[in-house]
Amino acid sequence: MNTSPTISCDQFDEQAEDLALGHIDEPQRSQLLAHASTCPPCQSLLEGLGTVADRLLLLAPQLEPPAGFESRALARVNTTTTSGTARFRVSLWAAAAIALII
């Protein structure tokens, strides 16, 4: 008799990203993997997400900002802003710049 709860494809789909990133703990992890081992569409989804996660990890070392970028950016923000509104505006620009680099 199998006492473990059955995972549906919808439940698997909801948690597939966390599973691929290793954010699911036991026993839920085993239940999701057991479902994927018997369900080709979910297995394909998990493999695809795993591939994306692996590629992102491989890209991570290439995304390091140049040496001194952080200290220069913080120094510029600290010296060019005085009011809260201006500081917020500069923070948005800094966030946009970082997003472009990434």
- What is the contact surface with Zn ion in residues (CB under 5 A)? 9, 39, 42
Nearest to residue 14, comparing CAs of 2, 35, 54?
Answer: 35
Please give the single-letter amino acid code of residue 36.
A
The first and second tokens of residue 19, run together, are 């599973």
Q: Which is nearer to Zn ion, 10 or 26 (CB)?
A: 10
Rank residues 11 and 81 by Cβ distance to Zn ion and give the closer one.
11
Say if CB 8 and CB 40 are below 8 A apart. no
Nearer to Zn ion, 49 or 94 (CB): 49
CB 50 → Zn ion: shortest distance, Å?
A: 16
Distance of closest approach, residue 41 Cβ to Zn ion, in angstroms: 6
- Whether residue 87 contacts residue 81, with contact meaning beta carbons closer than 8 Å, is answered with yes
Shortest distance (Å) from residue 8 CB to Zn ion: 7
Residue 18 vs residues 46, 70, 81, 83: alpha-carbon distances, Å:
10, 30, 39, 40
Provide the minimum distance between the beta carbon of 35 and Zn ion in the complex, in angstroms, as a whole number: 6
Nearest to Zn ion of 19, 42 (CB atom): 42
